Structure 1
Amino acid sequence: MWPRTVDWEELRFGVEIEFVGGNPAAVELLPGWVMAFDELQVDDTGEDSGAELKPPPLLWRDREQMRVMLDRLKATGARANWSCGLHVHVGLEPWGQDIVLPLVDEALAHQDALRGLLRTAEDRLIHCPPVVPAMRDRYLAKPERASLVRRGRPQSHRCGINAAAWFDFGTVEIRYPNGSLEYDEVVNTVELCLRFVAAVGAGRLVPPAAAGATGGGAAASGPAASAADAAALAALLGAPADGYPLPRPAPRWHRERAWLEDALVPVLEPLVRSRVPEAEILAIRPVPGGFRVTAEEPGDRRMAFLTRPGPDGWSLEPLESERG
């Protein structure tokens, strides 16, 4: 049922805590907490590193569990770097699917301000692209998950305000926050996300037409929301105006890798799709003898290829299936 007023402290939440370094296998987990060893990040040398720490569904009164687990994690030498983020999931049980369309509407109105308040690092925007008006139109025509996700690079399927998570987990996922292992920054971020979802659920935010929304394109090409817009959103929600994880610039080599991928994807995607029609390129990495191309099919099955340019064009050789 929507709208419905619910105390933000009574909403269930989870947070995906990405990190590099440390010794993930040595971390003693509280009951229900999970260490996702296959969710690797990138350290400052370009190597896969770290993991992702996830709690069971928590309530605000359970937040001290995060302090305990962050302290245990940091004790092993783990840290958050430029490649890490915090993904906050907020449960939508009080409203059910009725809140999905309002979430899309409020994303169109407020996503730029929310992203500005959280100061999302530019190098992380590929992981949290904006909601666009076409998604609303698709969802009205067919209210299903596929209407709320983007085609393109697999790491950019999910928007910064990811309402499609309702169909996966019964949540909305806020993907804008930068990574941190500092309790105060993590708990401020969780509070902001809880307050935002509670305000959407109560119908307290301004709809897109009244807000003068631009269609959420600012994350991709237009100017970012002003500091005043971000501060106004925090005031409207009663959330902290600062104290969130700061952005960290990616090293030059990572930006060069991203530029190389952007240049090669249009060249190599038709070649990959000639082998696997619905695959999308996840990553392209230089390796001895050419480039390793990792692609992903619907259903999250990954496969890898070795490709190299030659006088007769690009060759493509299968390497292995990475995930069954």
Structure 2
Amino acid sequence: MGGRTTMWPKTIHWQDIRFGVEIEFVGGAPEQVELLPGWIMSLDERQIDEQGNESGSELKPPPMLWSERGQIDEMLRRLLRQGAAANWSCGLHVHVDLRQWGEPIVTPLLETALSVQAALRTLLGTSEHREIFCPPVTGDMLERYRDEPSEKALRYRNGRPQSHRCGINAAASYDIGTVEIRYANGSLDYDEIIRTVELCLRFVSAVGAGRRLSADPKLLANELEAPVDGYPPEVPPPQWYKERIWLENALVPVMTTIVRQMVRDGEILHILPVPEGIAVSVENPDGPLCSYKFRPTGTGWELISD
């Protein structure tokens, strides 16, 4: 964020702040959707359909203002015509531009997050199974950032790549000059999406102006003059997915010890059952994603392919 205007507090009307939104979906034909200028279809960002297969994609606009929000409506119509849908595996992430304040807003953003993040998560109705993708900002994180401001200080630490980015993800300020708010469930409904965008814009505008905000969800919405409801609803996952996650969580401690003998500082992205045993995908901090297959034996886990 260096080299840009840096001033906090600074009052900026929420409609004058640029934003982006990541719209995850399943189904459809993402390769065939005609995109408006500047829009991106991230074909490598796949979700999970009802049968457990990779599906859909992630659609992203260029940075836009509130007055340009009609583009979102048009692109949603194009997705829906192709048969796309949002299910329990999808999320909705809103990026709000911080560059009008610059780096000085990051500390107050973290301080505010500590007091209101639970209220924001409640307003947006985050599904329980999606909480791994939006863990809380912590007091330790704030202290690390005060001691040594950096992107690394803003990453949640628990050894799983899915949960490095907090629900109020200020680390995005180092990548693209935004804060990413990750709590919302997936949706292809224009009204639900635009209410979510409005809430996030109003929240960041209030932090930028130096306002103190309530930790009560309804009071917070009223203070921000944002909708109290009408956000993407919670969609519970199927039982097979819950069981997959229970198995994965049980295996992660054991498999972490094994894979780190092969990938230094590797972190397990996911573990999936396969006919031969289990497939383990490992994020390599110094290279590409690695994948291994193991099967259990009487003496431990045997590597059968890599």
- TM norm. shorter chain > 0.5: yes
1:204 is aligned to 211
Q: In structure 2, which of residues 128, 133, 138 is the aligned counterpart of residue 127 of structure 1?
A: 133
Deviations 1:5-63 (A, max 9, x none): 00110101000000000111111100000000000000011000000000000000000
For the aligned residues, what is the CA RMSD? 1.1
Of residues 147, 158, 171, the one that matches 1:164 is 171
| 2:273 corresponding residue in structure 1 | 286
Aligned to 2:149: 143
Q: CA deviation at 1:230?
A: 1.1
Distance in 2 (CA, whole Å) between partners of 1:285 and 1:268 is 12
Residue 253 (structure 2) aligned to one of 240, 261, 266: 266
- Cα distance in 2 between the residues matched to 1:284 and 1:247: 25
Q: Could you report, residue by residue, the CA deviation over 1:186-209 in whole angstroms, capped at 9, with x for unpaired residues?
A: 000000000000000001124xxx
3-state DSSP of counterpart to 1:94? coil
> Which consecutive residues of structure 1, in runs of 5 or more, have no partner in the other structure?
214-228, 320-324
Mapping of residues 165-204 of structure 1, within 5 Å: 165-204=172-211
1:28 — aligned with what? 34
Residues 58 and 276 from structure 1, CA distance in 2 versus in 1: closer, same or farther, beyond 3 angstroms? same
TM-score between the two structures when normalised by the length of structure 2? 0.96
SS in 2 for 1:285: strand
Q: Does 1:310 align with 2:297?
A: yes
How many angstroms does 1:311 deviate by? Answer: 1.8
Please tell me whether the aligned partners of residues 30 and 41 of structure 2 are also in contact (alpha carbons under 8 angstroms): yes
CA distance in 1, matches of 2:143, 2:63: 32
Letter in 2 for 1:45: Q
Cα separation, 1, equivalents of 2:305 and 2:144? 36
How many residue pairs end up in the alignment?
Answer: 299
The answer to whether structure 1 residue 301 and structure 2 residue 288 are counterparts is: yes
**How far has the Cα of 1:242 moved from its partner?**
0.9
Q: What amino acid is aligned across from residue 96 of structure 1 in structure 2?
A: G
Q: Distance in 1 between matches of 2:130 and 2:273?
A: 21
1:301 Cα deviation (Å)?
Answer: 2.4
Contact 1:271-1:316 at 8 Å conserved across structures: no
Supply the distance in 2 between the matched residues of 1:158 and 1:244 (Cα, whole angstroms). Answer: 21
User: Which residue of structure 1 lines up, in the alignment, with residue 226 of structure 2?
Assistant: 239
- 8 Å CA contact 1:162, 1:175 repeated in 2: yes
Stretches of 4+ moved more than 3 A in 1? none
Distance in 1 of aligned mates of 2:210 and 2:189: 32
Write out aligned runs for 1:36-115 (5 A).
36-115=42-121
Q: Which whole-Å deviations, capped at 9, do the CAs of 1:64-86 have from their partners, x for residues lacking one? A: 00000000000100000000010
3-state SS of 1:108 partner: helix
Structure 2: any 5+ residue segments left out of the alignment? Answer: 1-6
How many percent identity over aligned positions? 59
Deviations 1:114-161 (A, max 9, x none): 000000000100100111100011101110010110231101110000
Conserved 8 A contact 2:268-2:280: yes
For 1:19, the aligned partner's letter is: F
Shift in Å, 1:313: 1.1
CA contact (8 A) 2:295 2:304 kept: no
Q: Give TM-score, length-normalised by structure 1.
A: 0.91
**CA deviation string 1:162-215 (max 9, x = no partner):** 011101110000000000000000000000000000000001124xxxx6x8xx
CA distance in 1, matches of 2:153, 2:22: 24
**CA separation in 2, counterparts of 1:99 and 1:26?**
40
The residue type paired with residue 125 of structure 2 is R
Deviations 1:218-260 (A, max 9, x none): xxxxxxxxxxx21111001010111100010000000000000
Deviation at 1:299, TM superposition (A): 5.6
Whole-angstrom CA distance in 2 between matches of 1:300 and 1:8: 40
